[in-house]
Structures are given as structure tokens and as C-alpha cells.
Amino acid sequence: MLAYPEDQIIVFDPAGEYPTLIEALGGSNIAFSPDSPTRLSPFDRSDVANMATTSQMAFKIDAFLALSSAMMAEGDEGLPEADKSIITRCVEAAYAKRGGDGTPTLSDFYEILKAQPERESRDIALRYERYVSGPLSFFNCQSNVAFEDRIVNVDLHELSSSMRVFGMLTALEAVRNRMYANYERGVTTWLYIDEVQSLFGHRVLHEVLGGGPQVQPHRNRHHPELDLHAGARGRAQHGAELRFRAAAQAVGARPQELGRPAVAFRRRGGLHR
């Protein structure tokens, strides 16, 4: 943080432990809950607006497939191919409905799903229904937040278990877009995910977070923090680099044992460089 003051740092805080620290460092806290005024749309494209439309659409389709898989997959079977085709079609139709640079909402997506001829589309719509109306509908909106401050804490602790994965995936998609935007302007981004072991039970989140051996739960069950690094410094010719690394927790653990150069790691007693 002190060595590279131009870097952006984003923290995912599932237990609500970081707001005081982030405020003391001059950062901002973004809290998601039914009662919070904070709103983030899974359809938001503001940070990738400079990309080609086809690239923006590909990212959003990928994000909605992951979101739908998290809600609908049973066991380890994953999302059926027919469902993937329907979701892809309906995401594209939702953006087309709004036209140009318009941003759809989950309501748009839901209504388009219900209008499709396949029986599977109505099943998909039913799964999304609780996120469109009622107390869990606070992601059915236009975004009113941006990851513009140098240090940002994403506070998820007031999300119920039924909303935690939905909120996590929506915020991860926004952060991914921010990383691409930062990379284009030569800014390195660090994402720290605390209590990451709580996510290993969700197969889709595990895949989104890399799925490599360094985040396999059976190998890193004692390493409850994960950081993701997207860097532009000195590597612009290679494109954006995404690194996933479980941070060392046990006293005496060497960061090099994690298989990648260490930048930040957690031990008992605090955060060390």
C-alpha cells in the first residue's frame, strides 16, 4: 500500500470487520443489504464502456451464466446446455430492449425469460423471481455506486445466506470490470477476499476465483484469505495478469510456499508485507 501509492485496493469483507480501518485510511465502504441505499446492477457496464460492444456482451453473458449456475445447478452437474443458450439469448435481448448504452434491470431479464417458448425458460424465470420483487430485490436496480476511491471495502455481512453468493458474484463482476478499466490506464489493482474458506462450498464461486490448485479447499483449508492481483506495472505488453493466491495464515508459513511471489500475506497479529 505504501510502496505503490497509485495502486487500487479492493477488499471483500463478508464479516463486516474492515469499515473502521478503511475509513481511517481514507477509503470508502460499500455495504449491501436490503436496507442500504447502495445499489449495484449485475447488468452495469460503466467500467468497460470503452470496450467493443461484442466484448462487453461476452463478459455479461459469462457473468449471468455463472450467476444462474450458482442459483440453479444441482450437485456437480452444472448448468444444462439448453439453459445456457436461453440465458445467452435473453441477456442479449435485455440489452437490445434498452437500446444503445441503456442498462437493463433484472425485471427486463425476467420478463423476457417468461416470454420465451421453451419450458426451461419459465423454470429459469422462476428461480430469478425472488430477486425481482420482494425483500431480496435490491439488485434489481440501476447502479448508484462506483469503485473510484483508491481503497474500497465491499461489506457483505448483512446479506443472508441465500443472497451471499448472488451478491458476491455481482460484486466480483463489477470488480473485474474495474480491473480492466484500471489496466487500460496503467493502474494495478489488488482484490483481497477475507474468510475465503467460506466460499469453497460453492462450486461456481470456486471456478470464478480461478479453480487452480492454489485455491483448492483440501489444500488450503487453513488459509482463509485470498488475494487477486491484476497488474499493469512493467507488463503492459503481456496483457492484464490475474493471479490468485491463498495467503499464508499459519505462523511461520513462508509466502514462497504458496508458489508465487508474495506481496501481502496475513499472519496472526496483522497484515505483513
Instruction: Give the model's pLDDT for residue 231.
Output: 52
Say if residues 155 and 19 touch (Cβ distance below 8 Å). Answer: yes
Say if residues 110 and 132 touch (Cβ distance below 8 Å). Answer: yes
Three-class SS state of 66? helix
pLDDT digit string (tens) for 236-249?
A: 333 333 333 333 22
**pTM, rounded to two decimals:** 0.75
**DSSP letters along 152-207, please?**
EEEE-TTS-HHHHHHHHHHHHHHHHHHHHHHHHTT--EEEEEETGGGGTT-HHHHH
Q: Which residue has the cell 421453451?
A: 118
Q: How many residues does the chain have?
A: 273
pLDDT digit string (tens) for 98-108?
A: 987 789 999 99
Residue 1 has pLDDT above 70, yes or no: no
Instruction: Give the model's pLDDT for residue 253.
Output: 32
pLDDT digit string (tens) for 208-257?
A: 665 433 333 333 444 444 455 555 444 433 333 333 333 322 223 333 33
Instruction: Give the model's pLDDT for residue 66.
Output: 86
pLDDT digit string (tens) for 130-155?
A: 999 988 999 999 999 888 899 999 99
Could you give the count of Cα atoms lying within 13 Å of 14 in the half-sphere of its Cβ?
Answer: 20
Query: What's the gap between Cα 70 and its chain centre?
Result: 13
Distance CA 90, CA 115 (A): 10
Say if residues 13 and 157 touch (Cβ distance below 8 Å). Answer: yes
pLDDT digit string (tens) for 12-61?
A: 998 999 999 999 999 999 999 988 899 999 999 887 777 888 888 998 99
Distance CA 264, CA 118 (A): 49
The chain-wide mean pLDDT, for the chain, equals: 76
Residue 267 has pLDDT above 50, yes or no: no
